[in-house]
Structure 1
Amino acid sequence: MGEGLELAELLAEVSRDLGREAVESVTFERVAHRALDVVPACEKAGVAVRKRRRRIATAAGTRDAVSVLDELQCRHGEGPTLIAAFDEDHCLVPDVPADTAFPTWSPAAAAVGLGSALSVRLAVEEQTLGALTLYSSRPRAFDATTVALARVYAAHAALALASAKTITGLSAALESRHLIGMAQGVLAHRYGVSFDRAFEVLMRSSNDTNTKLRDVAAGVLENGTLPELEREAG
């Protein structure tokens, strides 16, 4: 009973810690590092996000080896993180040196000292963000209790990541809006055009050059001009 209470208090404290930071990149790092506190058998941990064409990218890791192990999965097209990110809610490789489920990745992972691996999906409702993968140099380091604990932790982590992603996106949108507004003001003042006309030209330049609108706006603020309006003025 006491042990269960201690675990509940730990998860509550970790959940508060993960939700404390609104910056997405920092939250990724916290998710990886706090996994070591929640799952004692875990020696290193990594968070990978989903990419197109069934690929993953390392968002955070407690050791440099994490990105190496992720890259091996991308290179060979197999591995527990890929399974958790795209197919199942978790994937356990209890004995990496003896594993036959991933005939290419497992020998490569064993060669860099991996004994066992556990990947759990990071998802909020129907949206999958990626996967959290726990690693140990010891075979059979993760048992059924560990799997259950890791899945509970992943649920808390996914909520924190989704919240940070939303806040980061809103902050970026507000920053972009501010940049575009300032660029409109620069063009309106320099060329004597309306704000609507300035926005129209910014959009056209963005489409013609296949450049993000905020980057076009940043260029206007840096150079004080826009080629299209410069040609019209000349």
Structure 2
Amino acid sequence: MSSPLTSPSGPTWSDGLLSLLVATDTFEGFLHELTVATVAALPEGSMCGLTVVRGERAVTIASSDDLTLAVDQIQYRTGEGPCLDTLSSGQANHITDTSTEPRWRSFCTEAFVHGVRSCLSLPLMGPSGQVGGYNLYNPRPDAFDDDALARMRVFADTAAGAVALSLRMADQSKLNADLRATLASRSVIDQAIGIVMAQQRCSAEDAFALLSRASQNRNLKVHDLAAEIVATVGGRTPGPDTFQPHE
């Protein structure tokens, strides 16, 4: 579907982004559409996540796909990675190939296993300071060339203002239920991952992969499947139609 957001330059991008903010009904919906619009302006195969810091904790509050969320979680679990560094330093970080990048080796090793070769993290700088960061991933090495980097810097500068405005509106009006729901959704997913890890005797990454595969097979959102698993753990063990054991 075409979008006025697919070209991050000039008034078309800026006006389109503000129109999107007005048009979407929820804070979460706006942020998700923002990640989708970002992907549309990136090289083929790219993925996007949006991280903010709430209560001194980095949280992915929107992503273009489930793999992005899984790779973001590697950073949070290992305590290292390009986005975490961007959040602390306010500087962009670019990884041309996770298989050879000497920085953040714990993150890069696991990201490579997940099929991610290129990474680009950009700060979202609002009027009062940094409001978050973009996490951009691609399965090809050196996917983000100088032109893509330059365009994404413009993209991030404009998007940051809209993100800052939406955060401020949510805080001022006390209508941040969407953000709380997003955090609650992540909590449910984390609980389900723990249950699958215990039952299948597998790692957190494998457990999330099982959930993702099962959600696709059953045409359910990952959150809905996770809620189902958490709800059943007190009464019955999730059956074989919920997820497939790790092979």
Report if TM-score (shorter chain) is over 0.5.
yes
2:181 paired with 1:172:
no
Tell me the alpha carbon deviations over residues 82-121 of structure 1, each in whole angstroms, 9 at most, x when there is no partner. Answer: 1111113311011111111111110100000001010100
Q: Is the 8 A contact 1:22 1:168 kept in 2?
A: no
Partner of 1:114: 116
The answer as to 2:132 corresponding to 1:130 is yes
The residue aligned with 1:101 is 103
Alignment partners' CA distance in 2, 1:52 and 1:103 = 27
Query: Matches of residues 9-24 of structure 1 in structure 2 within 5 Å?
Result: 10-12=12-14, 14-20=16-22, 21=24, 23-24=26-27
Which residue is equivalent to 2:47? 44
C-alpha separation in 2, matches of 1:67 and 1:108: 13
Name the residue aligned to 1:142: 144
Number of aligned residue pairs: 170
Cross-structure match for 1:60: 62
- Partners of 1:39 and 1:87 in 2: how far apart? 24
Change (3 A) 1:6 1:172: closer
Instruction: Give me the CA root mean square deviation.
Output: 2.5
SS at match of 2:99: helix
3-state SS of 1:149 partner: helix
Asked if the contact 1:93/1:117 (under 8 Å) is kept, the reply is: yes
Give the whole-Å Cα distance in 2 for the aligned partners of 1:79 and 1:6.
26
Shift of 1:19: 3.1
Counterpart residue identity of residue 144, structure 1: D
Q: Secondary structure at the match of 1:56?
A: strand
What amino acid is aligned across from residue 61 of structure 1 in structure 2? S
Contact 1:22 1:163 in 2 (8 A): no
Structure 2: which 5+ runs fail to align? 1-6, 178-247
Distance 1:170 1:126, change over 3 A: closer
Q: For structure 1, which segment, 40-49 or 95-104, has the greater mean C-alpha deviation from structure 2 after superposition?
A: 40-49
In structure 1, list runs of 5 or more residues that go unmatched: 176-234
Q: Which has the higher helix share?
A: 1
One-letter amino acid of the structure 2 residue matched with residue 115 of structure 1? R
Larger radius of gyration: 1
What's the secondary structure of 2:74's corresponding residue? helix
Q: Name 1:191's counterpart in structure 2.
A: none
CA distance in 1, matches of 2:17, 2:96: 27
Distance 1:91 1:110, change over 3 A: same
Deviation at 1:13, TM superposition (A): 5.0
* C-alpha contact (below 8 Å) 1:50/1:56 kept by paired residues: yes
- Do the aligned partners of 2:14 and 2:158 also contact (CA within 8 Å) in 1? no
Aligned-residue offset at 1:60: 0.4
Q: Structure 1: which amino acid aligns with 2:126? A: V
Instruction: Identify if the C-alpha distance between structure 1 residues 109 and 26 changes in structure 2 by more than 3 Å, giving closer, same or farther.
Output: same
Q: Distance in 1 between matches of 2:52 and 2:113?
A: 25
Aligned to 1:223: none
Post-superposition, which runs of at least 4 consecutive aligned residues in structure 1 deviate over 4 A?
none
Name 1:34's counterpart in structure 2.
37
Give the TM-score of the pair, scaled to structure 1: 0.65
Distance 1:46 1:131, change over 3 A: same
1:14 Cα deviation from its structure 2 partner = 3.7
Instruction: Give the CA deviation at 1:8.
Output: 3.2
Show CA shifts across 1:152-202 (max 9, x none).
1111111111111222223327x9xxxxxxxxxxxxxxxxxxxxxxxxxxx
Residue aligning to 1:155: 157
Which residue in 2 is equivalent to 1:25? 28
